[in-house]
Amino acid sequence: MKREIVFSAIILIALSFPSCMSSYKVSLPDYKMASERKSFGISAVHGGIVENTDMSLIPSAATDAFSGATSTGLSASLHYEKRIKRNYFVTGIDVMINNQTFTYNDVANRYAGTRDIRVSQFRIPLLYQVGLFRQSIPEGVLKIRAGLSAGYTRFNISNSGFLPETVTTYPFSVGPAIGGSITPWRAANGASLSITGEMWRSFSPGFSDVYNVGEQSGMSYGKIGLIFHLPTGTF
């Protein structure tokens, strides 16, 4: 989870400085907050299965007996945004795909090889978005959102070598999500383009075997990308 937090936080902080400087250039006197919006997004995502890093939980296992590596994947989203006073409720569908590799190198327990897993997630966000720094833009220069993400995960597993046979996957998951965005471009009718980041962590396990045990064996992600907002109505 630490990698996902750092991944999202660093990029959001870095992007917020140019946004603050450019927000006054793009603010429009006649800009109106849309009562309803559709949004389409595409992001780079890093995460998936959280691997156990505490080998003290595994009898006779050396420190490097088990490790995981996650590749950066792709996320696409289709959201519906409903204005509630000066903020927005956000829901819709998120699709995320990335690959992971677990490496087993445990001489004591005679396990050696790799387990490649394609993780495909289909998630429904339930988020409340609040705007900050509204002096020049009614919606806010910086927007923070928080809530829950619930969904279904499909695991495609490919094994190589001599590995533990017992594997348990948990297709359904829910957990807290938090994110933020800045909007360097907007139109008078409420259409806008945002740079966004988000992270999420499940309450429950996601994938387990002899080594991937304990509280760490859940699901998580961090993502950064672009969202285009298109108003469906104005007031």
The CA angle 94-116-44, to the nearest 5 degrees, is 35
Whether 204 and 190 have beta carbons less than 8 Å apart is answered as no
Q: For the chain, where are the alpha helices, taking DSSP H only? A: 2-26
Q: What is the residue whose two structure tokens read 């070598």?
A: 161
Instruction: List the structure tokens of 2.
Output: 């630490």
Q: What is the value of pTM for the model shown?
A: 0.81
According to the model, what pLDDT value does residue 179 have? 97
Alpha-carbon dihedral angle through residues 169, 145, 97, 1, given to the nearest 10 degrees = -60
Domain residue ranges in the chain: 2-234
Distance separating alpha carbons of residues 16 and 80, to the nearest angstrom: 24
Distance separating alpha carbons of residues 151 and 171, to the nearest angstrom: 8
Q: Which of 166, 191, 169, 194 is nearest to 179 (CA)?
A: 194
Alpha-carbon dihedral angle through residues 55, 59, 61, 66, given to the nearest 10 degrees = -50
Stretches in the chain below the pLDDT threshold 70: 1-31, 215-216, 233-235
Instruction: List the structure tokens of 100.
Output: 């992971």
Distance separating alpha carbons of residues 152 and 93, to the nearest angstrom: 11
Beta-ladder partners of 193:
185, 228
Instruction: List the structure tokens of 126.
Output: 């339930």
Q: Which CATH class is domain 2-234?
A: mainly beta
Give Cβ neighbours of residue 26 (< 8 Å, ≥ 6 apart): 137, 183, 184, 185, 186
Q: Which of 145, 139, 109 is nearest to 126 (CA)?
A: 145
Whether 119 and 62 have beta carbons less than 8 Å apart is answered as no
